[in-house]
Structure 1
Amino acid sequence: MIPAPTSENELLERATALAGFTLGELAEQYGLVCPADLRREKGWVGMLLETCLGATAGSKPEQDFQDLGIELKSIPISHTGKPLETTFVCVAPLTNVHGLTWENSHIRNKLSKVLWIPVEGEREIPVCERHVGMPLIWQPSDEEEAQLKADWEELMEFIVLGKVHQITAKHGEYLQLRPKAANSKAVTEAYGANGQPIKTLPRGFYLKKPFTSRILAAHFMLPAEDTF
């Protein structure tokens, strides 16, 4: 087991050292089995990178490198460097949300500083042959944080008012809220329109592709997607 990095520079050096390797090569180094596809192993790439970098959080609801205040996010990209899917951030709270603010929210903590690691994600490339790209460490600008906060407040208002079922992927400019569950039987508690407890699918906060595309474009000097 790799010890946790003791500084941001050490973490970035470790991540940079992974660039150019395939997922299969990295898995072999750590005695892990590379899955044939990721449909049932959605978190596998992230788990592999956590292992390679010495992440400590595991499944705990905190930043992957808590001592450094840094979250790790892998991002599958196309051959042109564009994100291929939205990025899961964290599970959304559906109960006990009165008094919760953006400033003390779990999602703000997660997004305060992120180590992004692009990974080839085109489906025609076998998982084991997909290459890891160059990493970057990102912090939201004042403008980005203001919009993330506005999106979060809009989505949380639906939850507080018991209107979680009315939320669609169109709500939010940078953030979206959508169901996150292994199957339709994995339900959790939420509020109904009259404040009564109801059962619904868990929801997760996701960053929309145009937003993550802009982050990558700014760092790697790529053309960004224009529309949200």
Structure 2
Amino acid sequence: MPEATKRRILEGFERSGLSQLASRPYDCAFELLAAPRERKRLMVVGFNGSLADDSYTNESSITGGFESPMFSNVAHGKEGGWGKTPLAHRLTDLAEGLGFDWRDTVYTNALLMCSKDAVAAKTVAAATHHRHLDAVIAASMRYFEEVTISLCKPELIVAYSNSLANHSTARILLRAFGGDDAPAYEMASGYFTMFSFMASIADQKIPVVCVRHMSRFKPASLLVRNAWQHQLKRLT
């Protein structure tokens, strides 16, 4: 199973032209990626990788994960490996607050390419063979649908980074998979600004709750749960 999972992921990168882009595509352990789909019920999706990961490519990160399947970058962050940022603790606290085990949560990014920040992503993308940020986004979403979703059985996707005016996780997922669905705001402004929508991905209907970037804002689990329940009611 681990060998088949590695091959499936690497072939997906190759089809999408993502293999050699600087990126760490997953912050969960490779062991989880290779586990049965039913174990992976929550997905937490950020915008893209930081420069801390630009020594990796999508391909090398997976081959390294295959060799060290129990290594979790989120666990590494919780132990201080990400410096003083509270992000790793917020990522795991959110999963636990929603009733999931963070060790069974798939942590990934919408854009499988590192950059200093969202603004710099355009310049970085222009230097790749894709030539344009929109092309990297399209390739990343193709991979997300064909590979990442197929490895999981998600009941919920939490997208952190939720601006609709600029590039963000929420805007990428909404444009790729939201169809005509309009964002439903749980909190329309302020610290806890949050909305949800129903994504149609690989013939599945999956609730997506969009929160502000967790490196700077701590989401309220209760509000996330309420937004999730709002979308679940639409499935019944």
The alignment's TM-score, normalised by the length of structure 2, stands at: 0.25
Q: Which has the larger radius of gyration?
A: 1
Higher helix share: 2
The alignment's TM-score, normalised by the length of structure 1, stands at: 0.25
